[in-house]
A and B are shown apart, each in its own frame.
Chain A
Amino acid sequence: MTQLLAIDALLIAACAWLAVGLAGLAAPRNLRFISKTLFPVGALVGLGVGLLALFSLGQRPETAVLAIGLPDLPFHLRLDKLTAVFVMLLGFVSVGISIYAAGYFRKGEGTAPGLLCLEYHVFLASMLMVLLADDAYAFMVAWECMALSSFFLVTTDNRHAEIRRAGYLYLLIAHLGAIAILLSFGVMTSGSGDYSFAGMRAQELSPFWASVAYLLALVGFGAKAGLLPVHVWLPEAHPAAPSPVSAMMSGVMLKTAIYGLLRVSFDLLGTPLWWWGVVALAVGLATALFGVLYSTVQSDMKRLLAYSSIENIGLIVVGIGLTLIFHAYKMEGLAALALTAVFYHCLSHAGFKSLLFLATGSVLHATKERSLGKLGGLIHRMPWVAWLALVGVIASTGLPPLSGFVSEWLLLQGFLFSPGLPHPWLNMVVPIAAAVIALVAALAGFAMVKFYGIIFLGQMREENLKEAHDAGPWEKAGLVWLALIGFLLGLFPSSVIGVIDGATKQMLGAGLGERVREQGWWMLAPISAERASYEPLIFLVTIVLSVYLGKQIVRRLYHGRVRRSPAWDCGYVFQSSRAQDTAEGFSQPIRRIFEPAFRMDRHFPTGRDEKPYYTVKVEDHFWHWLYVPVARAAEFVSKLITRLQGGRISVYLMYSFLTLIILLLVARP
C-alpha cells in the first residue's frame, strides 16, 4: 500500500509517544533534557494526533490489523468517527498538558523524571490504543496499560502513606471495573468465541442478555469514569497525583470511559431498550448532584475539582441516558441533539478541567499549599494564572460565552423536548431531571465562585504568600493553549458541531450538521431559530463592551484614582487577613441546607477551652454504607478461611485425604 492511511499515522504517533517515553529512561536524572526536549516533542506528537483525528472525521472508517499479540489473536484496530472525536480530544488536550508539564516537574518530587516521562507517555499511548481498539482483547490490554501507567503516575510521590492508599484504592476499583467490562464483552460474544467488535455487532442478543451486557458495561466504565457508587477513588487519586497527571486523568482518561460506554451501548449492542436510558439518566443525575454538593464543601482545592469532575461526568451520563431514551423511541433528531450535547460536554470539560487542575498545580508550586484556607489574594502575585483560571472557572460554571454554556444549554434543550416522548410516565418524569440539572448548574457556580474567590481574590491569608511567583513560560503556554480551546468551543459552536456531526450521524443516522450549517457560523439554533438560538459572539461583544464602558463611565464620573484603605472593621480591635471568609465558612449555608447528604464530624469550641479550635470533616456516606461493610465481610471470610491453616501437618494431610476419598466416590466412571 503506497498511501499512508490516517490510522497508520496514528499508530506511528503512538509509537512516537512510546519512543519519547523510552528516551526518558536513557537519562532518567537529566531533568533539563527530559522537560525541555522530551515533553515538548510529546506535545508536538499530540498536536499531530489531534490534527489527524480532525482530518479523519471527514473520512471513511479505516481498519488495520497489528501482527502483535498472541498467536492467531492479532490486535484489530479501527478508526471511525466516534473514535476520531475522542482521539481529537486526546490529541488537542494533551498538547496543553504536555507543554505545561515541560515546565512543571521539578527535582526531588518522588519518582525520577525519566521514569515519570516514560509513565506519562505510556499513559498517552495506551489511551490512544484504547480508542483505536477494535476487539475486546486489544481493548483490555490497552485498558490495563492505561490503568497501570496512571496508577504509577498517581503514586509518584509515594513517600506519603495517604498517597499510597489513594493509589491502592484506585487500582482496586480500576480492576473491579475491568472485570465488569471483560464480563460484558464475554456476554456480547454470546459464546461464539469471536472477540472482535465486528463479531459482537453481528450477534443478536436476547433482551435479557443485552441488558446484562449493558449493565455490566455501565458498572465497568462507570468505575473508571467515577459514577456513583464506584466514585470513591476519584477524590482520593486526583489530589494525590501531580497536577499534569490529575489534568490528564480528569480531562482525558475519564472520557475514555465515556467512549467505552458509548461504544458498547450504541454500537455493539444494536437497538437499546428504553429503560437503559432511564437507568443511565438516574445514575447520572445522582452522580451529578452528589459530585456538586461535595465539591461545594471541600477545602482542598484539588479535591474540590475532583468532585466537580464527578459532577461533570454525571451530566455527561445524563446526556447519554437521554440519547438512549430518544434513540429507543426512534426520535433520532432529538437523540442527535442529546448526543451532540454529550460530545460537546466531553470536549469542553476536557478543556476547562485540565486548565483548572494545571492552575492548581501552579498555585501549589508557588505556595506549597493545597488547602484553600491558607491561600487568598493570589491574583496580585500570579496574574497570568489567575486570569487564565478565570477562563476555566467561567467555562466550568456554564456561563456564556465559554464552552461550558454551550454543552449545558444543548443538554437542557434536549430535555425541553422530552414531553414529546410516547410513554406516559417518562414524558412527565424526565422533565423533572431538567430541574435537577438546573440545580446542579447553580451549585457548580457556587463551588467555582468559592474555588476562585478564596484562592485568587481577597487578601492573602498567610504571610508567605507574598513570596508567591507567577508560572513560568512553559506553564503559561500550556494554560493559554487550554484557555484557547475553551474560547474556541464557546465562540464557534456551529463550526464545532459541524465537525463532530459525522460521529453523531454514524451512531444515530441523524445529525444537527445541516441545520446548523444553514444558519451560519455565528449562531447556534439546534432545532429551529424560532424556538431557541444562541449567538455567542453577541454575548462576548456585549460583555466586553459593557465592562469597558462601565469602567470608563466610573472613571469619568468618579475621580479616576485607585484608593486602598482598610475595610470596615465591625468595631474589632484586631483585624487580620485571617478574618476573611474561610473555605468552610463560605460553604456553610450549603452544608446546612443539604445536611442529610453529608456525613459530618464537627468539633465546636467551648468557652473553657485553653486552645479553642473548630474542625469540620465531611465524609462520604457511601464509604460507610457500602465500602466499609464490604471490607468487613471480606475480612470476616478471610478469617474463616485462615482457620483451615491450623499448622498441623496431620490436619493438612487429612484435607488431601478427604478430598481424594470424596473425588473417588463422586467421580464414578
Chain B
Amino acid sequence: MSSVPLSAQLINLFASVILLMAFAMLAQRRVLPLINLFAIQGAVLAASTGVVAVTTHQAHLYWSAGLTLALKALLLPWILHRLVRRLNVKWDVESLINIPTTMIVGIVLVVVAFNVALPISQLSSTISRGTLGIALASVMLAFLMMITRSKAIPQVVGFLAMENGLFLAATSATYGMPMVVELGIALDVLVGAIILGVFFFQIREQFDSLDIRHLERLKDS
C-alpha cells in the first residue's frame, strides 16, 4: 500500500464515506437526520474535490469545491430544514419497500456499478479514477431512494444526492466539468430545490399531506 500516495488514499477514503452516506440515507427513516446525512455527504464531496484540487493544482477545482461546500453542505440543507419546520413534516418516512430489502438491492447495485465502471476507469488517467465506481454507485443508490420513498421531501433529497454522485463522477473521471457547466448545474440544483419547495406548499394545500401517492389521481383515465 505504500506505493499509493497520500492524496489518492484520502480521495478513496472520502469517496467511501460518500458511499457510506448514500447507504445511510437509504436506511434513514426520519426526515431531519436524512437532511443532515445529505449535508455531510455534500461536505465530504467538497473535501474530496479540494484534495483533488490541491494535488493537481487545477485552479477551477478550488472554485467547484468551494461552491459545493457552500451550496450542498450549507445552503440546501438549510433550505430543506426550514421547509421541514414550516411544513411540519418531521415524522417518520415510510418507504414503499422495507429497509433491509432496499439495502440488499443497494448492494447488488453497487456490484453492478463497479463492474460497469471498471473499463471506463481503466481508460481514464486521473489520480482519482478508482472512485468512478463509487460515484456511479451513489448515483444509483440515490435513484433507488427516490423510487422507494413515498413522501416528497425524501424524493427531493434523493434527487440532490444523485447530483452529488454525478459531481463525484465528473471529478474522478476528468477532473471536473468546465467551470461554466458546473456553475450552470449548481444554479439548476438551487432553482430546482426552490421550485420544488413551492410545489410542496401547493401539494400540501391540495391534499393536506405531502404523500405523493395522492398524485396518482392526476393521470389520464
Contacts and interface: CB of A to CB of B under 8 A. Distances in A.
B148 A650 contact: yes
Contact of A654 (B119, B120, B147, B219): B147
Contacts of B216: 646-648
Interface in A613-669: 642, 645-650, 653-654, 656-657, 660-661, 664-665, 668-669
A668 B112 CA distance: 12
B219 A645 contact: yes
Interface in A323-366: none
B213 interface: yes
Interface size class of A (residues with CB under 8 A): 10 to 19
B215 interface: yes
Given A664-B112, A664-B116, A668-B119, A653 B215 contact: no
A647 B96 CA distance: 15
A647 B219 contact: yes
A649 B119 contact: no
Contacts, number: 44
Contact of B155 (A642, A645, A649, A668): A649
B146 A647 contact: no
Given A653-B143, A660-B143, A646 B112 contact: no
B43 interface: no
Contacts of A664: 112, 116
Interface in B199-221: 212-213, 215-220
A657 B143 contact: yes
A178 B150 CA distance: 48
B112 A661 contact: yes
Interface in B110-168: 112, 116, 119-120, 123, 140, 143-144, 146-150, 155
A451 B140 CA distance: 74
Contact of B147 (A646, A657, A669): A657
Contacts of A647: 215-219
The residue among A649, A656, A669 with the most chain B CB atoms within 10 A of its own CB is: A649
Nearest to A651: B147
Contact of A645 (B119, B143, B220): B220
Contacts of B120: 669
A475 B38 CA distance: 82
B221 to A, nearest CB: 9
Contacts of A665: 112, 116
Contacts of A650: 96, 146-150
Contacts of A669: 119-120, 123
Contacts of B155: 649
A653 to B, nearest CB: 5
Task: Give the most central of A642, A664, A665: most B CB within 10 Å.
Answer: A664
A648 B155 CA distance: 13
B198 to A, nearest CB: 18
A327 to B, nearest CB: 55
A650 B216 CA distance: 10
Interface string B156-186: 0000000000000000000000000000000
8 pairs of A and B residues whose beta carbons are closest in the complex: A647-B219, A647-B216, A664-B116, A653-B147, A650-B147, A657-B143, A669-B119, A649-B212
Given A650-B96, A669-B119, A669-B120, 9 more contacts: A646-B219, A647-B215, A647-B218, A647-B219, A648-B213, A650-B148, A657-B144, A661-B140, A665-B116
6 contacts: A650-B150, A653-B146, A657-B140, A657-B143, A665-B116, A669-B123
